[in-house]
Structures are given as structure tokens and as C-alpha cells.
Amino acid sequence: MLVEKKIEFYKRQMNLEKRICETAENSVKSVKNELIKELIHSIALDSKKHASIINSLITMNSSIQPFIEEEKYDELVKNVEEHIKLELEAIKTYKELIDQIENEEEKLLLQAIYQDELRHHILLKKILESIVTKEAITQDDIWDSIKEDFLPQF
């Protein structure tokens, strides 16, 4: 698919996600049932997330992405590693809770959260791997490469 066509598609999709979010938010403005309200609100949050991710795809396809700056690299790795640990803790505690809950409706909702946590954990591990293996090139490495490969030796 051509980049222009992808960007056009992404923009349409992002607008659709925003409309879904607005519709969901409007539908629960006067709803008193807390569970229904929060379930629909969570769908709206997912649509906001989708729009944000799609916006990142638009940016990725329309501009060069900056490297991770050397001074931010260690902090980013540390924070993502901590996030992975917290997600793992959430996975364990939700699993324990699911095993103890008898009410099937509650269990269903907790299982949905548990599945989200599993996806978060897998995604964070992939992000960390990407940061460590692919983005670990420093600005100095880039300039050294440019000097070695493109600038005449003096």
C-alpha cells in the first residue's frame, strides 16, 4: 500500500475511533447503573487508545522518528522494566482473585482485565526488546558511522 493511501486510511480510521468514543461517552452521561456506565466508558477509553495509536502510525509514516537520546535511554529501560514487573504482579493477583471468585459475572469481568494485563505484559516485553536491541544506537554511534562511511578521512 502506498504511504499516502495508508495515511489517508489511518486518518479516516482515527476519526471513526473518535466518533465511537464520543458516542460511548454521550450514551452514559445520565446512566445511573455504575457497571454499565463503566463498561461503556472502558470501550470509550479503548477507542481513545486506538485513535492515539493510529495517530502514531500517521506520524511514523509521515516523518522520521527521533532516536532515543543517550541520556534518556537508561531511564526508559529502567521504567519499562519496572512496568513489566508491575504488570506481572497484576497478572498474578488477578489470576488468584479469579480462582477465588464464585460469581460468574464478576469472574467474567476480572478475566477481561486479566487478559488485558497479559497483553500489556507481552507488549511491554516486546517494547523493551526493541529498545534494547534496535534503539540502543547512540548519537555518537550515528556520527561515528557517518564519519566512517560518508566523510573523507583526513
3-class DSSP assignment, residue 12: helix
Are 88 and 148 members of one domain?
Answer: yes
pLDDT score, position 132: 82
Say whether both 107 and 143 belong to one domain: yes
Could you tell me if 16 and 44 lie in one domain? yes
Which of the listed residues 48, 65, 82 is the one where a domain comes to its end?
65
Residue 31 sits in the same domain as residue 79: no
Longest Cα–Cα distance in the chain = 76
Identify whether residues 17 and 78 lie together within a single domain: no
Model confidence band, residue 11 (pLDDT cutoffs 50, 70, 90)? very high
Give yes or no: residues 36 and 110 share one domain.
Answer: no
Q: Please answer whether residues 13 and 54 qualify as being in contact, where contact means their C-beta atoms are separated by less than 8 angstroms.
A: yes
Please indicate, yes or no, whether residues 154 and 89 belong to a single structural domain of this protein: yes
Separation between Cα atoms, residue 121 and residue 136, nearest integer Å? 21
pLDDT of 35 above 50: yes
Are 54 and 89 in the same domain?
no
Average pLDDT in the 33-55 region?
94
Nearest to 60 by CA among 115, 99, 7: 7
Encode pLDDT of 86-104 as tens digits. Answer: 999 999 999 999 999 999 9
- Number of domains making up the chain: 2
Mean pLDDT of 101-113: 96
Whether residues 111 and 50 fall in one domain? no
Using CB atoms within 10 A of its CB, is residue 117 exposed (0-12), middle (13-18) or buried (19+)? buried
* Its pTM surpasses 0.95: no
Residues 52 and 123 in one domain: no
Residue finishing a domain among 14, 40, 65: 65
Residue 14: give the domain boundaries: 1-65
